[in-house]
């Protein structure tokens, strides 16, 4: 087990480095001189020289990457063009706001998806089964930001019972998870984010449960006289590794894919920061946010792999 | 096939007497015949396939179908409800006819759905076949690179690339192609590595077939099916991602009619005309669900290996 964990962690390092290379090259994808993207348009020749030296643009590109990585590892992502604040503090502030959304959306979607999927799998052909099968197709075809707009239209415009956007009456600085007034601002974005993963997870759980239920050991258990409830417990336990994989992916998508939903609700999280960075052509912020979010994704995948090894001894030996 | 049902002449007439009559003659269908048979009897797929055809036709013949000019603005006719002065679905924030722009928007959405997937299928498929057939160093080099791109959630990678390169349809197509290439590559690589070890490849090589001939005859015939199935499931993903990019101000630029972009500009009038604002999303949803269901049906019909 110890070896397996070590091997998975060692495998994750080149992936993380590769991700950093992709983020680093974003500056070179931008049209024009990379210096232009790092500097305000009215920079003097003197500032240009200073920045050129500071970022090592007079060096060959691989050396530049190492310098950049060195800065990043020390928590220095450069400065935002739009606000002149350090990118690190902007990204971390935004990430914590995104985590607030994830804190509610993840348990909601995982529990709902798992329970619905399990019921559908145990009672194939029933009402819940049809609902799950149907909603999964709808879920993958629905643009989540449009779903957000529709929810705003229904609950904020027509019924005016919930706020349409932003993060509380006093903004993100004083946002508190215990104040019911602030929590009302969470309802619509969390619902929007959770809806689509619920459908996908329910479908995965249903498929996994159906597959496990058709295996021979279930017949054996039944022949041994086990009650239906005990059998379902065995089935769910065996179906869980498959479900966990999809949960890991969906967690990453809830963090990274929140970009559109946060834009709709002007929720000041990482996705909103990204869309602001796009409008301002603020490449350092774009780079920093993408790197942070994708590292979260890499880390989640690692954790899921390890959890699976804990749950399923067969994986450890492979 | 009919000779199969004849009893061997050497057998005495009373063997299996009565117990086993002559087996009924069944016509053996070829693979494509059976795929076609299953598709013809899958009415859900047929219905949504028809919908896809209608959407494509509407996009192609947009100038004939659309009641107005998609770019004609009217200061006095901004954000009007459905039915206002002959505008079936009302008008947008610049007084342009909504239905016209939805019909024209289908052109760009379909293009953004199909072109990146096509590019990714060709590029990713080629890389996967090369990797799977070459094996060893080339394979690990290709697949480890793909793993890096796999580490990004798809929308994030699309936003990162087109965010850095700037808006525009070409950059949007490029970034979406890059998003899909790793997955396509993985599908092609898996099948190729499986086929490569089979005996008939060995036999082909022993009888003097060159690498290219083997790939063309034996590998491609196995790879194309899975790649096609996977690609068809990506079309709706691509439409959704592309509309998301346009919604963020990347991808399609104004005044071009595009569903994602329309959602983003109509959002400003959310409180004035919620119905108009929701309409482009319905178009995205319907198109995407049609492609999804057709792709599911095609997959079910083509997947014979149970």
pLDDT (tens digit per residue) in B35-88: 888 888 888 889 999 999 999 998 888 888 877 777 777 777 777 777 777 777
Chain B residues lying within 8 Å of A158, measured CB to CB: 274
Dihedral of CA atoms A214, A215, A221, A226 in degrees, nearest 10, equals: -30
Decide if pLDDT at B5 tops 70.
no
- Selecting from A21, A137, A260 the residue whose C-beta is nearest the C-beta of B247 gives A260
Rounded to the nearest integer, the mean pLDDT of chain A is: 83
Decide if pLDDT at B305 tops 60.
no
Res. B119 pLDDT band, cuts 50 70 90: very high
Chain B residues lying within 8 Å of A264, measured CB to CB: 267
Beta-carbon contacts of residue B187 (< 8 Å; ≥ 6 apart): B124, B125, B128, B226, B227, B230
* Whether B289 contacts chain A with CB within 8 A: yes
Helices (H), B151-219: 154-165, 169-196, 199-206, 211-214
Residue ranges covered by each domain of chain B: 57-70+91-301
Closest listed residue to residue B221, CA positions, set B241, B176, B191: B191
The whole-number average pLDDT for the span A69-82 is: 82
Percentage of residues in chain B with pLDDT exceeding 90?
Answer: 26
* Mutation target vs A (from B154, B163, B179, B268; most A CBs, 10 A cutoff): B163
Res. B15 pLDDT band, cuts 50 70 90: very low
Decide if pLDDT at B19 tops 60.
no
Angle among Cα B215, B219, B222 to the nearest 5 degrees reads: 155
A52-56, B1-5, B135-139 — most confident range: B135-139
Direct distance between the N- and C-terminal alpha carbons of chain B, in angstroms, rounded to an integer: 25
Encode pLDDT of A249-294 as tens digits.
888 778 776 788 888 888 888 888 888 888 887 888 888 999 998 8
Q: Return the pLDDT at B24.
A: 65
Residue B97 has phi, psi (to 5 degrees) of -70, 125
Decide if pLDDT at A6 tops 50.
yes
Q: What is the rounded distance in angstroms from the CA atom of residue A251 to the CA atom of residue A230?
A: 30
- Selecting from A137, A150, A164 the residue whose C-beta is nearest the C-beta of B292 gives A137
Q: Return the pLDDT at B120.
A: 95
Distance from CA of B21 to the nearest CA of A (A): 35
Q: What is the rounded distance in angstroms from the CA atom of residue A223 to the CA atom of residue B99?
A: 62
The whole-number average pLDDT for the span B148-161 is: 87
- Selecting from B153, B163, B281 the residue whose C-beta is nearest the C-beta of A252 gives B153
Chain B residues lying within 8 Å of A255, measured CB to CB: 153
Chain B residues lying within 8 Å of A193, measured CB to CB: none
- Of A52-66, A98-112, A140-154, B139-153, least confident by mean pLDDT is A52-66
Res. A38 pLDDT band, cuts 50 70 90: low
Q: Which residue has the higher pLDDT, B303 or A26?
A: A26
Look at A278 and B250 and tell me if their CB atoms are within 8 Å.
yes
Rounded to the nearest integer, the mean pLDDT of chain B is: 83
Look at A283 and B164 and tell me if their CB atoms are within 8 Å.
yes
Decide if pLDDT at A153 tops 60.
yes
Res. B288 pLDDT band, cuts 50 70 90: very high
Q: Return the pLDDT at A297.
A: 86
* Residue written as token pair 């067969």: A314
Res. A172 pLDDT band, cuts 50 70 90: low
* Mutation target vs A (from B48, B52, B142, B160; most A CBs, 10 A cutoff): B160
Decide if pLDDT at B111 tops 80.
yes
Look at B243 and A143 and tell me if their CB atoms are within 8 Å.
yes
Q: Which residue has the higher pLDDT, B122 or A10?
A: B122
Residue of A nearest to B235 (CA): A141
Angle between helices A87-122 and A180-213 (to 10 degrees): 50
DSSP B122-160: HHHHHHHHHHHHH-HHHHHHHHHHHHHHHTS-HHHHHHH
Res. B180 pLDDT band, cuts 50 70 90: very high
**Both tokens of residue A226?**
């086990």
Decide if pLDDT at A92 tops 60.
yes
Whether B274 and B82 have beta carbons less than 8 Å apart is answered as: no
Angle among Cα B258, B284, A105 to the nearest 5 degrees reads: 115
Distance from CA of A273 to the nearest CA of B (A): 12
Res. A135 pLDDT band, cuts 50 70 90: confident
ipTM of the complex: 0.85
Look at B285 and A146 and tell me if their CB atoms are within 8 Å.
yes
The whole-number average pLDDT for the span B226-245 is: 91
| pTM (predicted TM-score) | 0.85
Decide if pLDDT at B114 tops 90.
yes
Res. A5 pLDDT band, cuts 50 70 90: confident
The whole-number average pLDDT for the span A40-64 is: 76
Decide if pLDDT at B1 tops 50.
no
Please count the residue pairs, one from chain A and one from chain B, whose beta carbons lie less than 8 angstroms apart. 139
Q: Which residue has the higher pLDDT, B2 or A41?
A: A41
Decide if pLDDT at A126 tops 70.
yes
* Mutation target vs A (from B154, B162, B164; most A CBs, 10 A cutoff): B164
Chain A residues lying within 8 Å of B144, measured CB to CB: 14, 18
Q: Return the pLDDT at B115.
A: 96
Domain spanning B57-70+91-301: CATH superfamily = MetI-like (1.10.3720.10)
């Amino acid at each position: 087990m110890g070896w397996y964990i070590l091997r998975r962690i060692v495998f994750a390092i080149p992936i993380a480095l590769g991700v950093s290379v992709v983020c680093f090259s974003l500056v070179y994808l931008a049209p024009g001189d990379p210096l232009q993207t790092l500097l305000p348009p009215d920079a003097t020749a003197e500032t240009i020289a200073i920045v050129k030296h500071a970022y090592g643009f007079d060096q060959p590109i691989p050396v530049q990457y190492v310098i950049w990585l060195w800065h990043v590892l020390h928590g220095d992502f450069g400065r935002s063009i739009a606000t002149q604040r350090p990118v690190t503090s902007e990204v971390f502030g935004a990430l914590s706001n995104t985590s607030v959304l994830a804190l509610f959306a993840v348990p909601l979607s995982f529990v709902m998806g798992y329970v619905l999927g399990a019921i559908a799998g145990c009672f194939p052909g029933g009402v819940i089964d049809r609902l799950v099968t149907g909603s999964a197709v709808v879920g993958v075809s629905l643009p989540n930001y449009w779903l957000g707009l529709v929810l705003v239209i229904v609950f904020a415009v027509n019924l005016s019972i919930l706020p349409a956007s932003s993060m509380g009456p006093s903004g993100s600085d004083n946002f508190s998870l215990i104040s019911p007034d602030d929590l009302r601002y969470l309802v619509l974005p969390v619902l929007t984010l959770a809806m689509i993963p619920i459908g996908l997870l329910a479908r995965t759980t249903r498929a996994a449960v159906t597959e496990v239920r058709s295996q021979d050991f279930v017949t054996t258990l039944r022949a041994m006289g086990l009650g239906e409830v005990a059998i379902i417990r065995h089935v769910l336990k065996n179906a869980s590794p498959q479900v966990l994989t999809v949960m890991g992916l969906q967690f990453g998508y809830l963090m990274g894919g929140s970009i559109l939903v946060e834009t709709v609700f002007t929720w000041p999280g990482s996705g909103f920061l990204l869309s602001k960075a796009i409008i301002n052509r603020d490449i350092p912020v774009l780079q920093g946010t993408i790197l942070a979010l994708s590292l979260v994704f890499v880390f989640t995948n690692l954790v899921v792999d390890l959890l699976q090894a804990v749950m399923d001894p067969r994986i450890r030996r492979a | 096939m009919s000779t199969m049902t004849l009893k061997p002449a050497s057998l005495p007439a009373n063997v299996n007497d009565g117990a086993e009559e002559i087996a009924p003659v069944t016509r053996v269908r070829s693979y494509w015949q059976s795929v076609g048979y299953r598709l013809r009897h899958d009415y859900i797929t047929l219905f949504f396939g028809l919908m896809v055809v209608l959407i494509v036709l509407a996009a192609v013949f947009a100038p004939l179908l659309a009641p107005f000019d998609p770019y004609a603005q009217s200061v006095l006719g901004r954000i009007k409800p459905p039915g206002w002065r002959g505008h079936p679905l009302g008008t947008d924030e610049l007084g342009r006819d909504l239905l016209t722009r939805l019909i024209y928007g289908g052109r760009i959405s379909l293009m953004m759905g199909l072109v990146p997937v096509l590019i990714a299928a060709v590029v990713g498929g080629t890389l996967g076949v090369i990797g799977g057939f070459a094996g060893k160093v080339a394979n690990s080099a290709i697949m480890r690179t793909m793993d890096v791109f796999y580490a990004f959630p798809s929308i994030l990678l699309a936003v990162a690339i087109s965010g850095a390169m700037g808006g525009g349809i070409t950059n949007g197509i490029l970034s979406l192609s890059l998003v899909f290439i790793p997955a396509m590559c993985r599908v092609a690589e898996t099948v190729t590595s499986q086929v490569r070890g089979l005996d008939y490849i060995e036999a082909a090589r022993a009888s003097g077939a060159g690498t290219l001939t083997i790939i063309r005859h034996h590998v491609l015939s196995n790879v194309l099916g899975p790649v096609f199935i996977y690609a068809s499931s990506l079309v709706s993903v691509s439409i959704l991602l592309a509309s998301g990019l346009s919604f963020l101000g990347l991808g399609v630029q104004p005044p071009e009619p595009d569903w994602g972009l329309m959602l983003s500009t109509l959002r400003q009038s959310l409180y004035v005309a919620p119905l108009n604002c929701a309409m482009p999303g319905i178009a995205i949803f319907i198109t995407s669900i049609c492609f999804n269901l057709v792709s599911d049906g095609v997959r079910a019909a083509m997947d014979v290996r149970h």
